[in-house]
Amino acid sequence: MFLRVRGVLSVQSGYCNGHDPAPTYEKVCSGNTGHAEVIRVQYDPQQIDLRTLLEIFFAVHDPTTLNRQGNDVGTQYRSGIYVSSADELALAQAFIQEVAQHIQQPVVTEAALLRNYHPAEDYHQNYFANHPEQGYCAFVVAPKVQKFLKTFADRVSGR
């Protein structure tokens, strides 16, 4: 859904903040690499800011489940925000605190500097767009995309 946001230049699936120097999907899914499955969002700060991207992120996923998103379980599915600078990290940490004040369950989203990022395999790129009928996409991702489109209609680009 981030590809649909006005001001987002690119989105790339990948793995980060683990210790394996050459992570693959199979290795990451083992839970032994320390990597998280992530998307890398490059954006034009003249069109959209990090705070708005964080608002979208928190609106479309559950920040209260430890090492889990939906039926996907494991440390690779942890809720995390990985940024490139100390200023971005401070903003992300402050935003997490704001979110925590508005929900009853503890927020488990981690914020950290981006380390050891690796792009995911080609078949993971633009997965939802390329496989909309696949079960996970149809029943898990599609409702999140619809929620995004409804909630952030003013932020959607013409892509």
Domain positions in the chain are: 2-155
pLDDT band at residue 158 under the 50/70/90 scheme: low
pLDDT band at residue 137 under the 50/70/90 scheme: confident
Over residues 117-136, the mean pLDDT reads: 90
Three-state DSSP class for 96? helix
Over residues 19-31, the mean pLDDT reads: 96
What topology is assigned to 2-155 in CATH?
Peptide Methionine Sulfoxide Reductase; Chain A (3.30.1060)
5 within 8 A of 156, measured Cβ to Cβ: yes
pLDDT surpasses 80 at 70? no
Q: Can you give the pTM of this predicted structure?
A: 0.90
